[in-house]
């Protein structure tokens, strides 16, 4: 209901729910998997009805290595009902592998009902810059601009009058 009010009354076009488990009430009378399935189904209907983008964060089960759609913690309907499934992860490297990795994160398109296009095995190569908490599809040199929150984690005012987002 809160999301629908934001869309209708505030004209929100992008909604992010971070994360699935915090969005659900811990109602012991209802099966958790049914709650998850119903919630994701309602989000999907709402996205289509109002032509908005709804991003739902759903964490995988604890594991190492590549993630598949089946590794999402909870109901399998979470990824079944979604139009697009993305995974964001740190790449893993075999201990015997000599390959130098020039990126430290990857974004993979694991399901795409809109175009059917998926990413290759390594996904979209990304670099994470811990100081500014930025992620980019560029080399580490991309992060040469300094923002106030880089030095002061609680000072969210951008330097030089730039908008940080």
pLDDT in tens, 36-74: 888 899 999 999 999 999 999 887 776 655 677 777 767
Long-range contacts of 125-128 (CB under 8 A, 24+ apart): 127/103, 128/104
Q: Which two tokens stand for residue 117?
A: 């296009």
136 in Cβ contact with 126 (< 8 Å): yes
The pTM assigned to this predicted structure is: 0.71
What pLDDT is attached to residue 148?
Answer: 60
Residues 112-126: b if buried by 16+ CB within 10 A, e if exposed: eeeeeeebeeebebb
Strands 53-57 and 14-18: parallel
Question: 24 pLDDT band (50/70/90 cuts)?
Answer: confident
- pLDDT score at 81: 87
Q: List, as own/partner pairs, every contact residues 119-127 make where C-beta atoms lie below 8 angstroms and the sequence separation is at least 24, other chains included.
A: 122/91, 123/87, 127/103
Q: Which two tokens stand for residue 102?
A: 């020039």
What is the model's pLDDT at position 165?
Answer: 42
Q: Is the pLDDT score of 163 beyond 50? A: no
* Pairwise CA distance, residues 28 & 35, whole Å: 11
Note the pLDDT tens digit of each residue in 104-157: 888 889 899 989 898 877 788 888 887 777 888 866 666 776 666 555 555 555
DSSP code of 93? Answer: -
């Amino acid at each position: 209901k809160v999301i629908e009010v934001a869309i209708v009354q505030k004209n929100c076009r992008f909604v992010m729910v971070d994360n699935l488990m915090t969005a659900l009430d811990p109602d012991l009378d209802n099966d958790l998997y049914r709650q998850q399935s119903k919630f994701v189904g309602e989000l999907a209907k709402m996205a289509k009805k109002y032509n908005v983008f709804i991003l739902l964060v759903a964490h995988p089960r604890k594991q190492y290595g590549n993630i598949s759609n089946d590794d999402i913690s909870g109901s399998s309907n979470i990824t079944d009902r979604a139009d697009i499934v993305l995974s964001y992860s740190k790449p893993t490297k075999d201990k015997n592998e000599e390959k130098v990795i020039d990126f430290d994160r990857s974004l993979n398109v694991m399901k795409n009902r809109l175009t059917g296009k998926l990413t290759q095995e390594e996904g979209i190569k990304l670099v994470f810059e811990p100081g500014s908490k930025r992620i980019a599809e560029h080399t580490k040199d991309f992060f040469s601009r300094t923002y106030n929150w880089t030095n002061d984690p609680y000072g969210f005012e951008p330097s030089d009058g730039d908008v940080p987002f």
